[in-house]
Amino acid sequence: MDYLKIYTSLDSTNKEAQRLLATGPVSSGLTILARHQTAGHGQYGRTWVSAPDSHLAMSIVYKPVDFDAIALPTIGMKVSLGIIRALKQIDPQLMPLIKWPNDIYVNGKKLCGILIENVLAGSRVQHSIIGIGMNVNESQFPSEIPNATSLFMNTGMSYEVEKIALILRQHMLTLLEKNKFDWKNEYDQSLFGLESLHAFQIGPDNVFAKAKGVSIQGHLILEMADGAIAHFGSHELKWEIS
């Protein structure tokens, strides 16, 4: 499979994708999988090494054709929704949700994080590197990260990381290559906190609000306690998750 490169160990799959793009031609859809990742982003900000073949670390190179940066938020949304669809295929009992903007939660805990790095020439998107970190076969996590969960901890099953990666890849690419804009309702319906009260930190304030959806610019739409509808960028609010 020339679209899948598997490494025993890498600093980070996103960095390997950058190196490949810098040194030669790379086809859209190329997928990099590391059995062991030593310097992955977003790994809870600490050096924590999971047992081999329990954590999934992958990156997909996506090269859109004639894609204006103005629509970039849709790439993040499609990736999140692709992961939701893949998880539902892996186990239809799972109830995965998108914790806006770039995490996937199951049963109130983080299963998966997404890190997308794009390169733009002017306003044209040259390529996207879509990095995914997912907890697959971990049976427990250190007490410093009580908010993490794995597929195994939810289903009691062990999985081949490579198979999971291919299912994720297929669902993400199907959505990314989809020209028709008809997936937005499904995305909104998959949001964590949709129509239920959650605590947010907004500037100096702690507030309770209901998520109503995500705008086409990628902003989270919240209904505040007084009924007002407000849109927030990712730097403007924080989820308060106990």
Partner 1 sequence: METKELQELLKLINRLEFGEFKYKQGDIEFSARTKHYQSPRAGIPSGQFQQTSLPQAAPVLSPPPAQAQSPSPANAGSQSEESTAEKATADNLIEIRSPIVGTFYRSGSPDKPPYVKPGDAIEVGSVVCIVEAMKLFNEIESEVSGKIVKVVVEDASPVEYDQLLFLVDPNG
Between 156 and 203, CB nearer to partner 1: 203
Q: According to CB under 8 A, which one of 66, 92, 93, 143 is a site residue for partner 1? A: 66
Between 107 and 234, CB nearer to partner 1: 234
Between 92 and 122, CB nearer to partner 1: 122
C-alpha–C-alpha distance, residues 130 and 28, integer Å: 11
Region from 28-36, 47-55, 116-124, 162-170 binding partner 1, contact rule CB under 8 A: 116-124
Bridging pattern class, strands 229-232 and 220-223: antiparallel
Per residue, the 3-state secondary structure of 40-94, as one string, reads CCCCCCCCCCCCCCCEEEEEEEECCCCCEHHHHHHHHHHHHHHHHHHHHHHCCCC
C-alpha–C-alpha distance, residues 19 and 13, integer Å: 10
The reply on whether position 232 binds partner 1 by CB under 8 A is yes
Which of 119, 121, 139, 141 lies closest to 129 in space, CA to CA?
119
> At residue 98, what is the residue type?
I
Between 1 and 228, CB nearer to partner 1: 228
- Please report where in the chains the tokens 């940066």 appear, as a residue: 69
Do residues 211 and 228 make contact, with C-beta atoms less than 8 angstroms apart? no
| Three-state DSSP state, 29 | coil
Between 96 and 131, CB nearer to partner 1: 131
Number of residues that bind partner 1 (CB under 8 A): 57
Between 128 and 137, CB nearer to partner 1: 128
Least CB distance from residue 140 to partner 1, whole Å?
28
Least CB distance from residue 214 to partner 1, whole Å?
9
The reply on whether position 51 binds partner 1 by CB under 8 A is no
The reply on whether position 40 binds partner 1 by CB under 8 A is no
Region from 1-9, 91-99, 144-152, 213-221 binding partner 1, contact rule CB under 8 A: 213-221
CA 216 from centre of chain? 18
C-alpha–C-alpha distance, residues 149 and 145, integer Å: 9
The reply on whether position 144 binds partner 1 by CB under 8 A is no
Chain residues that interact with partner 1, rule: CB under 8 A: 66-76, 101-102, 114-124, 126, 179-182, 184-185, 202-209, 213, 215-219, 221, 224-226, 228, 230-236
